[in-house]
Structure 1
Amino acid sequence: MKKIILSLLLLTGLTAIKSYAQMEAAQKVKWDVEKGVEINMELDAIWEVFNNNELLKKASNGYVSAIEVIDAAMPISRKIVFSNGDSRLESITQNEAHNKLIAISFDDTKLPKGIKAAQYAIFFKANGSKTNVMWRALVSGDGDGKQALVKQLNAEFDSYAAGLEKMTKKSIPAVRMN
């Protein structure tokens, strides 16, 4: 009986050591791009903008000229056409309404030269009647290609932040007719 108890204690101890070793391996992600803004808009309204391609195009503040859904089944494949004529194929890999999270990865066939992989996520969090929107991107690749894509993503996220801010501005009320 002592041998069985001793064996169980030994197995339990080894399992705990192995679990602890696995936890040490977990590392915090170092994002290549982080852009956060607070928008004077309710969370559900912002969520609707990011899930409606026409509103999202408007929110890009002129940076995006078209958003075309290629395959509506998850992961949703879409083509983004920028106002300078460039385009990007990407897949929405997560669209979680309950967590207010959208994750997007770039399709491998259209990655810029020197880039192995690229993805970004958009996080939404209510803050009273306002909403915090956070873009975070991760780019894997060499120096020049990575720098160019990081610069492009910063400009893109800045355009969305400015466009969302413009969407919250009050319009001039119409003149009242008698």
Structure 2
Amino acid sequence: MKKIVLSLLLLTGLSVVTAKAQMEAAQKVTYDVNKDATISMPQDEAWDILNKAELLQKASNGYATAIVVTDANFPVEREVTFADGTMRKETIKQVDKQYKFMVIQLGTESLPKGIKEAEICVFTKDKDAKCEINWKAKIKGNAEGKKALMEKITAEFESYALGFEKLTKKSIPAMRMN
């Protein structure tokens, strides 16, 4: 009996050490581009816009002239055409409907020279009848290519933030009184 209890204590101790070693290996992800915006819209409405190509195009404030889903099966493939005439292929590789976030992998054929890979993460958070949207991008590659892509993605994120803000503006037309 003494050997069994000693063996159980030894096994328990080893599993705690293993778990601790695994937790120490976890690292915080740092992003190259970050844009946060709080909009006057419920999180569910903002999430619907982010997930529907035609609404997302409208929310881009003219930055994206077309967003076309080329394969609706998961992982979702789509092509984004920008106002400057460039096109980007991308894959929505992760969508979490419960926590309302997504991860988008940019197609290697769409990346500037010197960039190995890039991905965009979009997080939403409910904030007292408003929604906080966080756009983040992680880019791997050389400094020159990274700088060019960071500038383009920053402009894209800024356009989305402005577009979402414009979508929340409700104007009431004036009525002529006689």
TM-score by length of 1: 0.92
Distance 1:156 1:104 in 2: 14
Residue 103 of structure 2 corresponds to: 103
- Of stretches 68-77 and 96-105 in structure 1, the one that deviates more from structure 2 is 96-105
Structure-1 residue corresponding to 2:62: 62
Q: Displacement of 1:104 after TM fit?
A: 0.7
Counterpart Cα distance in 1 of 2:3 and 2:51: 61
Deviations 1:110-166 (A, max 9, x none): 322111111111111122221111111111111111111111111100000011111
Q: Does 1:126 pair with 2:126? A: yes
Q: Distance in 2 between matches of 1:98 and 1:14?
A: 35
**Aligned-pair distance for 1:88?**
0.7
Q: Does the alignment pair 1:82 with 2:111?
A: no
Matched, 1:39 2:39: yes
**Which residue type is aligned with residue 43 of structure 2?**
L
- How far off is 1:177 after superposition? 9.4
1:176 is displaced (CA, Å) by 6.8
CA-atom RMSD in angstroms: 1.8
Deviation of 1:37 after TM superposition, in Å, equals 0.5
Tell me, in whole angstroms, the C-alpha distance in 2 between the residues paired with 1:8 and 1:172.
72
Range with bigger deviation, 97-106 or 154-163: 97-106
Corresponding residue of 2:175: 175
Could you tell me how far apart the structure 2 residues matched to 1:97 and 1:61 are?
Answer: 25
Q: Describe the SS at the equivalent of 1:85.
A: coil
Name the amino acid aligned to 1:39: I
Partner of 1:49: 49
Tell me whether 1:13 sits opposite 2:13 in the alignment: yes
Instruction: Decide which moves more: 29-38 or 95-104.
Output: 95-104
1:153 aligned partner: 153
Secondary structure of the residue that 1:92 maps to in structure 2? Answer: strand
| Shift of residue 13, structure 1, vs aligned partner | 1.4
Tell me how many residue pairs correspond in the alignment.
178
Which string of whole-angstrom CA distances, capped at 9 and with x for unpartnered residues, describes residues 8-63 of structure 1? Answer: 22222122112111111111111111110111112222122112212111111111
Q: Give how far 1:92 is off.
A: 0.8
